Structure 1
Amino acid sequence: MADRLKRYRSKRDPLRTAEPVPAEGPQPAGGDDTFVIQEHHARSLHWDLRLERDGVLVSWAIPKGLPPDPGTNHLAVRTEDHPMEYAAFEGEIPAGEYGGGTMTIWDRGSYETEKWSDREVKVVLRGSRVSGRYVLFRTRDRNWMIHRMDPPDDGWERPPASLAPMTPVTRARAPREPEAYAWEFAWGGLRALAHVQGGRLTLRSATGADITQEHRWLRPMAGTFGSRSVILDGEIVPLAGTPVYVAFDVPHDDGRSLLTEPYTTRRAVLADMAIAGPRWQTAPAWPGEAVAVRRAAREQRLPGVVGKRLDSPYLPGEESVYWIYLPS
């Protein structure tokens, strides 16, 4: 019988990597019902889907992760079979080695085979994060596509491809109840909505234009979200001469629209994301501190401040009295 792991071994040196490298010989027999999905931060972020079959893990690299609904197919690149021990592997593959980078288990569980051929694989996955029917079909050479066959979980909503930002009205004075607002700096930068999906970034201007290429320095931010799909509202601001993306709202999070949620809920979600990197950060906000924040904006020579009602929804494309701009 052919050695299914010959190619796998040829790519790895057990003295240089912690990955399991079993000796030649018969492989353990199982029930052909184990799957694992590993998040792989290598040269580019991707996810590895592995299905137990005849004593090995048949594997595909999926650059954008599993598609969340039947409306989108994702590329899946067939890679070498992996040993069964790999289903439990997490760790750091040394730089310079094949697949160098961080490997973590994103999900694992059992699966049921509906069809298995050289060109088409239909399975039902039952994991803690992924449950559903998927089909992998071969298109050319090692390139396959993966398609979700059943509808997504109840409540899941596809993020909009484009979203016009909400804007404030301009006032000379603070509202009568400044404590009902959270106060943020008006940065005076370029308004931009960051669409993150499958570890990839699409950056859109306030008019909906794709400005990703002009600001490709921001692309690494998308990888920090892993498989989480989000839309961020923010500004590109020159800080100490370097452009930085400052996020101050989140209209959509991982299949859930937050447009009708109050500002306080959206800010809590944003805080939970812990957006902090060399060129991206979360904008600070101070509930009720209109006078102090406006004074600080003047001292820092910022154009002004924005007060956002704590109970305000996010109204795409609208100039709303829920948000008030006060010049410095």
Structure 2
Amino acid sequence: MAEKRQDRLAEYRGKRDAGRTPEPVPDERDLPHGDDDTFVIQEHHASSLHWDLRLERDGVLVSWALPKGVPWSPKTNHLAVHTEDHPLEYAAFEGEIPADEYGGGEVYIWDRGTYETRKWTDREVKAVFHGSRVTGLYALFRTRGKNWMIHRMDPPADPDAEPLPERVRPMLPQERARLPRDEEHYGFEFAWGGRRLLAYVEGGRTRFTDGRGREARSPAGLGGPLGESLGARRVVLDGELASVEGQETYLVFDLLHLDGHPLLDVPYEERRERLGDLGLAGPRWQTAPWYPGEGRAVRDTAKERGLRGVVAKRLDSPYEPGERSGAWRLLKL
């Protein structure tokens, strides 16, 4: 951060081939100068998902890579790895860096806006951010080498936000011999006969617990890609790992926590709608289908497909952790 002015972008240019990457690679020249008040945060799907924080300073974008993104609460600090300065033009960059180039992967603008400098030294930066997603006072402080930490100094922007729970014991259905008579009050799902897994996703990373609420190993090819697909969202998902057309797939059928807010007391129908809004669809995961009021049709289709059975869930039912509840009914076939 204390390099000579004319050399500020030498490291940046040295890592990039202007003929191969769509990134801006300016020639060596006098640096442009703005008002030192622009910031951008780019979501970078490189070999490991991270977020790049860039602050305009003396004609360049001083940059840090945040493996877990920006902390939403002052109770948690996140690692910030200081990287090379970037040109000011990079504040508008979105696109795909070729896989064999430095930083290969998709880059999206996650947030941008202006900031006010409260302090700027070689070891500490304090700034007030005015973005669409990130607002408030933050501090970046150096720990060792290129490693810094980023800390939120203001109270949480959402004072009602809660951290992800360490674990949730899954809700279980009661077995019944028949479908409910009042089908219009239920949503119906296939019972796939898979392994129950709850997924806890934060900062693009995923961990799992099993049907008893115990820590579970991440299935191959699932945890990392699932976390990356959700980006900065903070969620707890409930589902099962089952075979679908010969492919082991994580079928998600419930949403228990969303961006700092528990959904256990929210009716099943609304949880299902919010789950659908997440757009979960990947090579190893998808939102499990559900059919409000269509019990007989779901039962007949399950029989044709040779599935384990049908689960009927009351549309107005909350999520009852660890309970075998009559609000959920399993009809075995």
Q: How many Å apart are 1:208 and its aligned residue?
A: 2.4
**What letter is aligned with 2:181?**
R
1:321 Cα deviation from its structure 2 partner: 1.5
- Residues 1:307 and 2:312 aligned together: yes
CA contact (8 A) 2:170 2:213 kept: no
1:245-292 CA distance string (max 9 Å, x none): 000000111122211111111111111112111111111111111122
Distance 1:198 1:61 in 2: 13
Q: Which of these residues, 62, 75, 79, is aligned with residue 66 of structure 2?
A: 62
Contact 2:202 2:232 in 1 (8 A): yes
1:276 aligned counterpart, secondary structure: coil
The 5-angstrom pairing of residues 1-328 of structure 1 reads 1-2=4-5, 3-152=7-156, 153-213=158-218, 215-219=219-223, 220-328=225-333
Aligned length: 327
From the superposition, tell whether residues 323 and 150 of structure 1 become closer, same or farther in structure 2 (CA, over 3 Å): same
What do residues 7-64 of structure 1 show as CA deviations (whole Å, max 9, x unaligned)?
0111111111121112212211122111100001111111000011111111001111
Within 1, Cα distance between the matches of 2:214 and 2:127?
Answer: 39
**Cα contact 2:280–2:287 (8 A) shared by 1:** yes
Counterpart of 2:216 in 1: which secondary structure? coil
Where does structure 2 lack aligned partners over 5 or more consecutive residues?
Answer: none
SS at structure 1 position matched to 2:84 = coil
TM-superposed CA distance for 1:176, in Å, is 2.7
**Residues 201, 212 of structure 1: 8 Å contact kept:** no
Classify the secondary structure of the residue corresponding to 1:317. coil
Q: State the AA in 2 paired with 1:14.
A: A
Residues 190-212 of structure 1, C-alpha deviation per residue, up to 9 Å, x if partnerless?
11001111111111112222223
Give ranges in structure 1 of 5+ residues lacking alignment. none
The CA distance in 1 between the partners of 2:121 and 2:109, in whole Å, is 27
Call closer, same or farther: CA 1:282–1:171 in 2, change over 3 Å.
Answer: same
User: Which segment is superposed worse, 104-113 or 132-141?
Assistant: 132-141
1:165 corresponds to which letter in structure 2? P
| Superposition CA RMSD, Å | 1.3
Superimposed CA distance per residue, residues 147-202 of structure 1 (whole angstroms, 9 cap, x where no aligned partner): 11222123322221211111111111222312110110111111100111111111
**CA–CA separation in structure 1 for the residues paired with 2:316 and 2:126:** 46
CA contact (8 A) 2:39 2:112 kept: yes
Distance 2:108 2:245 in 1: 36
Residues of 2 paired with 1:165 and 1:150: CA distance? 35
Structure 1's consecutive aligned runs of 4 or more residues displaced over 6 angstroms after TM superposition are: none
Q: Is the 8 A contact 2:200 2:207 kept in 1?
A: yes
Distance in 2 (alpha carbons) for counterparts of 1:295 and 1:44: 44
In 1: Cα distance, 2:282 partner to 2:88 partner: 36
Q: Secondary structure at the match of 1:188?
A: coil
Question: TM-score, normalization: structure 2?
Answer: 0.95
8 A contact 1:195–1:201 mirrored in 2? yes
- Report deviation, 1:300: 1.9
What letter matches 1:230 in structure 2? V
Separation (CA, whole Å) in 2 of partners of 1:266 and 1:154: 22
